[in-house]
Structure formats: structure tokens, C-alpha cells
Amino acid sequence: MSSSTTSEKGSESGQATFRFRCIGCGSITPSAAQDFRCSQCGNLLEITDSSWNSHNPTALKSLWRERRTLNETLDLSGVWRFRELLPAPASEEHVVTLREGNTPLYELPQSSRLTGVPRLFAKHQGMNPTGSFKDAGMTVAATFARQAGYQWVACASTGNTSASMAAYAARGGMRSLVLVPEGKISWSKLSQALDYGALTCQLRTDFDGCLRLLQELVRHAPVYQLNSINPFRLEGQKTLAFELLEQLEWQAPDHIIVPGGNLGNSSAIGKALIEMLDLGLISNLPKLSVIQAEGANALVRTLREAGGKNLVSVQAETRATAIRIGNPASWEKAVKVLQATGGACEQVSELEIAQAKAEIGMEGIGCEPASAVTLAGLKKLLRRGFVKPEETVVLVLTGNLLKDPDFTMEFHRGDLFRGTPDERESARLNPFRHPPVVLDATLDAVIKTLEQAEKSNPTPSNA
Ligand code: F0G
């Protein structure tokens, strides 16, 4: 068992052309240590490949589109369909795929009306095989883990990474070790890891504590870490942007808005946008904005208080448990992306998150709380004048509604803010609540309830 990943490892043909580049000092190496940090300056590594720039953009667009009609394993994946701009595995046989990607781009008619932004879309990554955007990155990282011969993969997680990693490890014939904060992740995500066969450790700490422990563990045990500092993950997550642009007929939107936690996803999308611009796939760069929960606002504070130069970590607290992260690992990558694209970084309150989640639910698609920060953030960015109503805006919904049923049930039953400082103010969210009604099993009781509902809300909201 080796403790590094190289572009040559497992490349039977020796043809791999990708390299690892330090985002700090820019040095380039063919191999990466287990912590995916530069051996010279300690900054994070990213993957680069000189062959990516040799493609003809028009030919790529038609090749990718044509693959949507084909039935080959790689073409059926909404990630590997874009393989010309991904690191190439030594052989197709190494690829671990669950047909990830190919996620819908929805219009949001009600939110459009509400915000006054007619061209408002949601790219719903919650429609991936394990219900979150993590699958797009995991298929690539699990493929390279398998190719390198690792038997164990591991991650620290707020729930979605662990669910995804466990699934891809199981598909790829690897064992998986999950470190999650005890009592701080949704049981729905936890149950996925169990069902996919992970060795699941609930640690008495928070996500940041789990990640610290994992960094130590990889130095002592032959496990391959699949957190988002693993640059293969980010390569897979780039495809969200490729697919989005394809869905928009390669007309770049003005804004893409993502939730920010450990900041891998914003880094990946930003990398993809810059690569697409360099290659001529798009002719202008969308602004990528990152939204955090007020209680987990490390990036917001890093930019406001330290000019993006050093990390201001926080003790994270939010009911959007997916982004309950105080010490984001990829903060430097995210700062670079915000600067390169001219995006904004904003924070939203727990009440704003709950309202936005209910509004996205009323669109008939739903999402988990962490994803709803995007709509809440958009409203703030509109108020600030950073986003103009006539612009095209895409919200990235990162997780499925079913990922956090407790949040949804507590919200609709009116319990979400009980005993919190927001309790009194949360009354203004009552119009968004749709609690279940317990009735006798009689026709009369149901008809009366129907009539009452009709009286209190005579017109459906999309009329
Ligand atoms: N949205 C959801 C649903 C997430 O699960 C996460 C992160 C994020 C947004 C933030 O993305 O970390 O790339 O900035 N979840 C990780 C996990 C940390 O372990 O599942 P990020």
C-alpha cells in the first residue's frame, strides 16, 4: 500500500497527462501526498491537464450532446460524459459509477414572481443517486481510489459526503470508514451510510473535530481520504457547471449561487467556469456567489475581517446541519474563485433559511435546508443591488428534500424554533406552514377540512 496518489499510478498505459498544481506557489508535481497539500508551501493542490486546452469547443459541445443518446456505461453518467475535461483513469474498467449527474435544471415560477427575477433557475443536484451533489465528485475520486488499489476509503462528514462515499465504495468493492459528529447529522443521511455498509463512527465532537482526526488518521493508517480536499472530488463536481451551461445552450448566466460549507463545491464550480472560459466554451464568466448560514459564517468573516488573507474560523451552529462547519478546508480556493469571478459572499439567518426552504418546497421540488440558503441569499443580494432583476440567476440546490425530514416536520408542526431566540419572530413564518391534520375517518370530517382550507386560501398560488 502506497501513501500517495500519482497521475501515473495504475496507469497501465502510462498515458495519464494530469498533474497536481499548488494553488499557493503554483508548483507542479506528478504525485500528491495523502493530505493533498503542497510539499513546499503547504497549500492545497488542484488537478491540471495540458490536454484539456487542446480541444475544439464546438466539437466538444456536439460530442457531449451526442453522448446523451448513447447507452455506453461512461456516456450514461452525467459526469463521465464530460470526460475530455476530467483526469483520465487508466482504464474504463476502474470507473465506479451510479449514473450520477444528468440532473434537472428547473424554472422557479413562484420564486421568480416573489423575487422579481424572471430568469431564475434551480440546478437540482439533490436528484443524484444518493440525493446530493457529492455523487458527481465521488464517482471520480472513488475511481482513482480503486485504480490506486486502496481497500479503505474514509471521510469526515456532515452526512452527505458519507452517504455518497459509502455508496460508491460499495459499488467499487472498497470498504469505507465514516467519521460523523454524534447527534449533529440527519438520521436520514446516517441511515444511508449504514445501508451501504460503511463502518460508521459517531464521534463526540463537531464536523471540524472529525476532519482534524481524519487528517491524523491518514498519516497512520492505509486509508484514502475522500473529503473535498481530495482534488479528484472537485474534478467530478466541475461537471455540474458543464452540464448547466449545456442546459442553457452555452449562454452563461449572470449569477450562480451556491451554499458554502467546507467550500469544495464553490471551488469546483469556479474552476470549471474558468476552464470553460479559457477553452472558449463560454464567452463570459458568471459571477459565483457563496451563501453561508449566519451561525457558520467563516468565509463571510474571512473576507470582511481579514480581507480573505487568513481564515477566521467560527464555532459553527445552524439547523442547516450540512453546512455546520466552522473551519472550512478549501477556504483559500473559494476566496480565489470569488475574486476571479467577481462573486459575493453573504450570510442568512435561520428564519430566512426556513422560509426559503418552504418556498422551494412550494415549487414542487423541495430541497434540504443547506440548499435553501441560495434563495435566501438571492433575496439579500437583490436588496444589496448586487443582483439585478433582469439578470439570469441559477441557484444550486445541493441536497434532496428527503435528506432532513426532521427539519421539515418540525417546521410544519411549528416546533423548529421552539425554545430558541427566534421563537417569537418565527410566527411570521406561519403562512408557510402546512401541518398535518388529524381527523376522524369520516367523509364529513374530510369535507369540512377541505372547505376550511378553501376559505383560508381560495386561490392556488400558481393561478
Ligand atoms: N449543501 C449540502 C447539502 C451539503 O451536504 C454540503 C456539504 C454543502 C452544501 C456545502 O458544500 O462543503 O462543498 O461547501 N456537505 C459536506 C458533507 C461537508 O460532509 O456532506 P461544500
| Structure confidence by residue, pLDDT tens digits, 341-365 | 999 999 999 999 999 999 999 999 9
Sequence-distant (≥ 6) Cβ neighbours of residue 207 within 8 angstroms: 156, 157, 158, 180, 181, 184, 262, 316, 324, 325
* pLDDT value, residue 34: 86
Cβ of 368 less than 6 Å from ligand 1: yes
* Confidence band for 5, pLDDT divided at 50, 70 and 90: low
* Confidence band for 453, pLDDT divided at 50, 70 and 90: very high
What is the arithmetic mean of pLDDT over 27-55?
93
Cβ of 289 less than 6 Å from ligand 1: no
Residue of higher predicted confidence among 11 and 34: 34
Residue nearest to atom 11 of ligand 1 (CA): 261
Cβ of 161 less than 6 Å from ligand 1: yes
Say if residues 95 and 74 touch (Cβ distance below 8 Å): yes
b/e code 199-211 from CB counts within 10 Å (16+ = b): ebeebebbbbebb
Q: Measured in angstroms, how far is the CA atom of residue 323 from the centroid of ligand 1?
A: 6
Question: 307 has which bridge partners?
Answer: none
CA 136/CA 97 separation, integer angstroms: 9
What is the arithmetic mean of pLDDT over 37-59?
95
Beta strands in 97-192 (DSSP E): 105-107, 120-124, 152-156, 175-181
Q: Is the pLDDT of residue 12 over 50?
A: no
Tell me the pLDDT tens digit for each residue of 76-114: 999 999 999 999 999 999 999 999 999 999 999 999 999
Cβ of 185 less than 6 Å from ligand 1: no
What is the arithmetic mean of pLDDT over 323-342?
97
Cβ of 318 less than 6 Å from ligand 1: no
Q: Measured in angstroms, how far is the CA atom of residue 322 from the centroid of ligand 1?
A: 5
Cβ of 160 less than 6 Å from ligand 1: yes
Q: Measured in angstroms, how far is the CA atom of residue 10 from the centroid of ligand 1?
A: 30
% of the chain exceeding 90 in pLDDT = 94
Q: Measured in angstroms, how far is the CA atom of residue 72 from the centroid of ligand 1?
A: 30
CB atoms within 10 A of CB 249: 7
Q: Measured in angstroms, how far is the CA atom of residue 36 from the centroid of ligand 1?
A: 19
- What ligand 1 atom has the least distance to the C-alpha of 264? 13
Q: Is the pLDDT of residue 36 over 60?
A: yes
* pLDDT value, residue 16: 73
Q: Is the pLDDT of residue 156 over 60?
A: yes
* pLDDT value, residue 9: 40
* Confidence band for 460, pLDDT divided at 50, 70 and 90: low
Q: Is the pLDDT of residue 4 over 50?
A: yes
Mean pLDDT for all residues in the chain: 95
Helices (H), 224-368: 231-237, 239-247, 264-279, 298-306, 331-341, 350-361
Cβ of 322 less than 6 Å from ligand 1: yes
Residue 248: helix, strand or coil by DSSP? coil
Q: Measured in angstroms, how far is the CA atom of residue 71 from the centroid of ligand 1?
A: 31
